[in-house]
Amino acid sequence: MKYRNLNNTDLSISAIALGTWAFGSDRWWGYQDDNWSYEVLDAGFEKGITLIDTAPVYGRGHSEEIIGRFLKKRGLREKVILATKLGLSWEERRIYHNLKPKRMLEEIDASRKRLNTDYFDLYQVHWPDPDTPIAETASVMNNFYKKGIIKTVGVSNYRVEQMREFMNYCPLHSSQPPYNMFNREIEKDIVPFCKENNIAILAYIPLNSGILTGKFFFEGVKIPNDLCRKNHSDLKEPFFSINKHILEGLKRIAEQYDKSLTQLVLNWTANRDGITSILAGARNRAQLQDNAASLDWEIRPVDLEKIEELLSSRDEMVRLVKK
């Protein structure tokens, strides 16, 4: 495992982190047995993963509860970089935003209780709330930070202009945007901005919700009926056929190194310019072990060029389809 500092701090985090929405066992990712989640956490520590990322919205707090129980039982709280979020909640069958100061205070107390901890190594605003000024949100986060309840401050799904405004009222240590081979929008402005301002980038969905593993294209795995994948455009025509063609090319490159497609994808993503860590989820021990073994090798420059050619050709095919 490789380790990198969370920019502007002394926190050393694993270049591959554990994303834990699936632990919530909710409608977004579908059913997950708690015992599988405990096995994933065990395997993560065995493989040197130190950053665990969760949120209250993941299973209405269930993901946090699973992690809290595990850390308490194993006595591992001080050995993990624990990151959670606030600002999103389930209301019956939908997710809603709420970053009102009163709600923020309620959320941090509830998360600390579920996670069995007095503090968070990283506390993140999950999404900006259109009904709450960023200045208000940032001021509350700064109060948490000054009190020592949180060691570092992060935002997720923030645009550059939103991060810039946030920084007027509170230090900003990390940004968590979506990023993967098929979604590289952050390279245009977020990556340059974060590099310039020494903000760590923790990229989520590096496997594009499992699509970049190739399992839906080559392994006969049925597309699940969860909210995340059942209507995903990359799993429907005409994009399904385009993606299969590109993944075939990527798979051939991975095979030259005797690596899985997943490992090629995670290696490429974790080593992109400006990326500090990638948040990869895992359903079971085998998936976690496959993910964790992604960084103990290097992709040759000639193959990096081939990957870029494949991804550029996909961009062009998608553009023509959408035209």
Q: Are 189 and 167 in contact (CB under 8 A)?
A: no
Q: Are 7 and 173 in contact (CB under 8 A)?
A: yes
Residue type, 245: H
314: Cβ contacts below 8 Å, ≥ 6 apart: 182, 242, 243, 246
Residue 3 annotated among the catalytic residues of the structure: no
Q: For tokens 């047995």, name the residue.
A: 33
Cα 191 to Cα 186: distance, rounded to the nearest angstrom: 6
The active-site residue, picked from 3, 31, 38, 58, is 58
Distances (CA, A) of 9 to 111, 174, 199: 23, 10, 10
Tokens of 18: 């554990």
* Count of CB atoms situated within 10 Å of the CB of 135: 12
66: Cβ contacts below 8 Å, ≥ 6 apart: 20, 23, 34, 37, 38, 41
Question: Which residue in 209, 205, 225, 216 sits closest to 157, CA to CA?
Answer: 205
The β-bridge relationship of strands 277-281 and 200-204 is parallel
The H-assigned helical ranges of the chain are: 34-46, 62-74, 101-114, 134-147, 160-166, 190-196, 215-218, 239-256, 261-270, 285-292, 301-322
305 burial level (CB within 10 Å; 0-12, 13-18, 19+): exposed
Tokens of 232: 């995903």
Cα 63 to Cα 54: distance, rounded to the nearest angstrom: 7
Distance of CA 204 to the CA centre of its chain: 3
Catalytic residues: 58
